[in-house]
Amino acid sequence: MIAIAFVAGSIPTGYWVAKAVKGIDIREHGSKSTGATNVLRCVGKGPALFVFLFDIFKGYAPVAAAVYLDGGRADWTIFGLAHTCAPLCAVAALVGHSKSIFLGFQGGKSAATGLGTVTALNPLVGGVLFATWLLILGITKIVSVASIGAVWMLPVYFWLFHDPAAHIAYGFTALVYVTWRHKANIKRLMEGTEPKIGQKPKDPGTSNNAPKAETSESGKGTETGSRA
């Protein structure tokens, strides 16, 4: 089941959609990510919505299957934690999305796929997590901030809903992993260059440090020439 979850998570939805719709390698455009946000910037709204929903589904399906096979039993234990099969499948799907076997172990940030895994483990936690993401996105208009902010609440939500310890452990694992996958976004946030939703990433070559027009002798010459 864990191997199946990894393969399912590895399905490069964004890469295939960008190839099919626009004939481009999404890894060479925008943020270079294969996730829905980069597809939105580089391909369009419709394809991005499809990628977002399918990435959720590919995280949900294998974990939901593991939950079903577990059947509520507590006999699948690792390190003394009950109900560990489904959370381990969740980790596999999460890593599979960002380390796709179809793309030379490249991929996206695992946020949407992570949401799918959480929804399979506990639909109520998944719903609250998605609502948190929407709230932060509505306030900041920055997808990366919403994704990081939401995943930091995940272990808390699992705890509040009295989930098994294995689910809470997965919450902390997802928190660390998804945050690490967003390290480039965090750097851009610190530099003030992280684009808001719908905006293109800023070109590093066009910053506020670009040379300004000269106002010395050459500036006078330009002014004289413009009067002629």
Lookup: tokens for 40:
């939105």
Contacts for 224 with CB less than 8 Å, ≥ 6 apart: none
pLDDT digit string (tens) for 77-122? 555 455 788 999 999 999 999 999 999 898 888 899 999 999 999 9
Nearest to 26 by CA among 7, 5, 2, 48: 48
Residue 31 has a pLDDT of 81
The conformation of residue 11, written as its DSSP 8-state character, comes to -
Q: Express each pLDDT in 111-134 by its tens digit.
A: 999 999 999 999 999 999 999 999
Q: Where are the domains of the chain?
A: 2-198
In this predicted structure, what is the pLDDT of residue 219?
45
Task: Give the bridge partners for 81, in sequence order.
Answer: 78
Contact 167, 158 (CB under 8 A): yes
**Better-scored residue on pLDDT, 135 or 1:** 135
Confidence of residue 30 (pLDDT cuts 50, 70, 90): confident
Nearest to 148 by CA among 37, 59, 46: 37
CA distance 34 to 14: 5
